[in-house]
Amino acid sequence: MTPGEVSFILEATVSKTFWKQEKFAAGRGAPMGEVRLRDIAERLGVSVTTVSRALAGYNDVAPKTRQLVLRTAREMGYYPNLTARQLQRRRTDTIGLVVDVTGPRFSDPLFSELLAGVGNRAAREGFDLFVATMLPDTDDELQAYRRLVRGRRVDGIIVVRTRVADRRVQFLLEQQFPFITFGRSTITDHVSWVDVDGERGVQMVVERLIAAGHRHIAMLQPDLPLMFALLRERGYRRAMRAHGLPVKETWIVRRPLTEDGGYQGMQHLLRLRTPPTAVVAGNDQMAIGAIRALQDRGLRAGSDVAVVGFDDIPLARHVHPSLTTLRQPIYEIGQHLCRLLVAVLRREADGPRHLLLQPELIVRESARL
Amino acid sequence: MTPGEVSFILEATVSKTFWKQEKFAAGRGAPMGEVRLRDIAERLGVSVTTVSRALAGYNDVAPKTRQLVLRTAREMGYYPNLTARQLQRRRTDTIGLVVDVTGPRFSDPLFSELLAGVGNRAAREGFDLFVATMLPDTDDELQAYRRLVRGRRVDGIIVVRTRVADRRVQFLLEQQFPFITFGRSTITDHVSWVDVDGERGVQMVVERLIAAGHRHIAMLQPDLPLMFALLRERGYRRAMRAHGLPVKETWIVRRPLTEDGGYQGMQHLLRLRTPPTAVVAGNDQMAIGAIRALQDRGLRAGSDVAVVGFDDIPLARHVHPSLTTLRQPIYEIGQHLCRLLVAVLRREADGPRHLLLQPELIVRESARL
DNA sequence: CTGTTAGCGCTTTCAT
DNA sequence: ATGAAAGCGCTAACAG
């Protein structure tokens, strides 16, 4: 919004005395660049095999030898070359995550929380995390997956925002590559997933809106074929039908899943002959946009039009009026995704695993329920 | 804030007919699990070397042979095993990023934007991104770095929030491992960095506060020895001194870099005998906490007490009153970090590179300047 | 132009 | 209890 004032850039080597120079003990934390098993073996006059086994903790090494190897390895600062190990073991102990970063001002609050959940759990399970970013519009999305899968850079993949006919899911199935999705997809067999029950969540919200007297209830849906949108719409229709209320197709508006999208969508709804008195948005950003559109028309969310979001991002309780929303426990979802995928990788899982979490309705000011 | 209602969890295999089953063309996108150079070579009756060179685009392969190899490779669905290639080439073409995810409700808006910048640039430069997460309190922080460096999992590292005597920087220097930092550190030689000139930024802000009539100006600083805090404090002191204003040490309050920290810190300041009329916070979250503390005392940020944040997170323009803040162009910073690091890795850089960006003052309601 | 040879650093039979 | 040998899949120096 702020006109982008060009910031002054200085690219140069700053003088050494520009600011206080603190000396670190150049310490004898030796450099010891490149210690291989072989180096230890040669030093000790044993074979590489023995060193390898001693370090791996096999029991067919003489205690005395093991001690010696262990000590020497520490002394020499040995650290295994993970790449070599991966090649030999034919696995990477790494989990892949492809995230479509939406341009410069991307900062999906859900994402960092998901990453935290996945990452922490992965570390706990002894797995590394590999993150590939890509602009979602660029069609080399599959390219990124191909790289991870075919290049054997990871052992398993987490797919994050499932779409209705998800090529990524299709690809991974074809490749018979281990993966788990956040969100269901149109294929459910042989696919592990974690999801939040948006269908039921929205159904419940709509029912509570109806109970509160609302009859004209609209949906601000994403303009992409996202799986969660499809399911939530089903919940919406079911609730309306259950109460004998007609669903006017013009009440279902599809816009980008952004604040601006919500703004546009709400504007559109307000221009209808019979504008809705309540709106369920695809996510909190859209809901916030909708609130803003109402304000610009002199209306107030909560009293004039009820607005419900989805996700409960940190911002939700800060906007005015604060946002009534369906909360998704993203951090926990991240942990579950990782946990279940690891179970599959370790073959602890007999078949695909499914985990359906219920969203929690957080009632605030934008919709009194 | 909301009492954590236990969400209902269902972990089970959902029936296959639970929802519409869409058939994907089982397509002949064959599985072709494991095609090696050798497989192509054998099929064609040439040597592995020839195949490798043809694929790599060397010019010492007969055009006819090259064509044949290329076609066969495509037919057989060949994709190089990246691990093997890494081992042989002795490089990974991967950049590492260690992020300290602060617990469950972590969602640093800056982080996702930084990641987007780094990731997109990395992809453009032909590099992969490796992300390690860890809880910051756990002292195995260095462990994570050691793994990346000594395990040779990455070629270079981006260190993100420099501290005053940064062990990570020290470690990487000792290891003579290529890296770049976001934020300066107490060592500047041989270290490449990108930073935002918080010293000058804060100095300017304080001067404008003084020009607006403020005399009692406080700082809400982080309670950790972060490098940026040290530098900004210097800017603050300089501005005060330049105008002959005393700096009361009680005006510099150190609290966690969170909304709550800002809240606590502001409360503390309000209890002083001479409370400040203006506050410069360590980041936007702290500033928001400060605003809240003011509200709880019946005061209003902007009119009663001026509050200035730092970063310009998306939330900043949404809070009430909206936040006056110093904007950091995080996405661009991510790109620069990646760009400069890659230059170092490619040895295009003669020495360490430094890039100092000026923050942009965004004036909103919380401090009229 | 192409093939032979020699690894990258590690793990893992299989003998001894 | 230890070592020799055989790779994991790829690249690259060196002959021819």
Instruction: Work out the average pLDDT over B104-127.
Output: 86
Task: Give B-chain residues touching A83 at CB under 8 angstroms.
Answer: 83, 86-87, 92, 152-153
Task: State CA B255 to chain mean position distance.
Answer: 22
Range in A193-207, B5-19, B287-301 with the lowest mean pLDDT: B5-19
> Which pLDDT belongs to residue A110?
87
> Which pLDDT belongs to residue B292?
95
Q: Which residue has the higher pLDDT, A307 or B3?
A: A307
Task: Give B-chain residues touching A122 at CB under 8 angstroms.
Answer: 133
One-letter amino acid of B276: P
pLDDT digit string, tens, across residues B175-222: 999 999 999 999 877 899 999 999 999 999 999 999 999 999 999 999
Find the angle CA(B126)-CA(A80)-CA(A150) to the nearest 5 degrees.
40
Find the CB nearest A106 among B77, B116, B174: B116
Q: Which of A161, A178, A169 is nearest to A100 (CA)?
A: A161
One-letter amino acid of A40: I
How far is Cα B117 from Cα A363, in angstroms, rounded to an integer? 35
- CB of A91 lies under 7 Å from some atom of strand D: no
Residue in chain A closest to B94 (alpha carbons) equals: A130
Q: How many CB atoms lie within 10 A of CB B314?
A: 17
How far is Cα A48 from Cα A32, in angstroms, rounded to an integer? 19
Residues with Cβ within 8 Å of residue A336, at least 6 apart in sequence: A194, A355
> Which pLDDT belongs to residue A10?
30
Q: Which residue has the higher pLDDT, B315 or A240?
A: A240
Q: Which of A118, A161, A134, A142 is nearest to B119 (CA)?
A: A134
> What percentage of chain B has pLDDT greater than the value 70?
89
> Which pLDDT belongs to residue B19?
29
Q: Which of A330, A275, A276, A286 is nearest to A308 (CA)?
A: A286
CB A208 within 8 A of CB A241: no
Whole-model pTM over 0.85: yes
Q: How many CB pairs under 8 A join A and B?
A: 277
Q: How many CB atoms lie within 10 A of CB A90?
A: 11
Helix or strand holding residue B11 (H, E): strand B9-11
Residue in chain B closest to A122 (alpha carbons) equals: B133
> Which pLDDT belongs to residue A190?
85
Residue B22 has pLDDT above 50, yes or no: no
pLDDT per residue, tens digit, chain A (369 aa), is: 233 222 233 333 333 322 223 333 332 233 346 899 999 999 999 999 999 999 999 999 999 999 999 999 999 999 999 999 999 999 999 999 998 877 665 667 788 899 999 999 999 999 999 999 887 656 778 899 999 999 999 999 999 999 999 999 999 999 999 999 999 999 877 899 999 999 999 999 999 999 999 999 999 999 999 999 999 999 999 999 999 999 999 999 999 999 999 999 999 999 999 999 999 999 999 999 999 999 999 999 999 999 999 999 988 998 889 999 999 999 999 999 999 999 999 998 888 999 999 999 999 999 999
Q: How far is the CA of B36 from the C1' of D12 (A)?
A: 18
Q: How far is the CA of A182 from the C1' of C8 (A)?
A: 38
* Radius of gyration of the CA atoms of chain B, in A: 27
- CB of B136 lies under 7 Å from some atom of strand D: no
Instruction: Work out the average pLDDT over B286-295.
Output: 96
Nucleotide nearest B83 (Cα, C1')? D9
Measure the CA dihedral B225/B231/B232/B235, to 10°.
Answer: 150
Q: Which domains does chain A have, with CATH numbers?
A: 198-329 (3.40.50.2300)
> Which pLDDT belongs to residue B220?
98
How far is Cα A291 from Cα A297, in angstroms, rounded to an integer? 10
Residue B17 has pLDDT above 50, yes or no: no
Find the CB nearest A16 among B87, B133, B188: B188
How far is Cα A130 from Cα B242, in angstroms, rounded to an integer? 49
Distance between terminal CA atoms of chain B?
34
Task: Give A-chain residues touching B177 at CB under 8 angstroms.
Answer: none
> Which pLDDT belongs to residue B103?
60
Residue B154 has pLDDT above 70, yes or no: yes
Nucleic strand C interface residues, CB < 7 Å: A 34, 36-38, 48-49, 52-53, 55-56, 80-81, 84-85, 87-89; B 45-50, 53, 60-66, 84, 87-88, 90
Sheet holding B278-281, edge to edge: B252-255, B217-222, B278-281, B306-311, B324-327, B360-362
Nucleotide nearest B65 (Cα, C1')? C1
pLDDT digit string, tens, across residues B216-271: 999 999 999 999 999 999 999 999 999 999 999 999 999 999 999 999 999 999 99
> Which pLDDT belongs to residue B178?
96
Residue B96 has pLDDT above 60, yes or no: yes
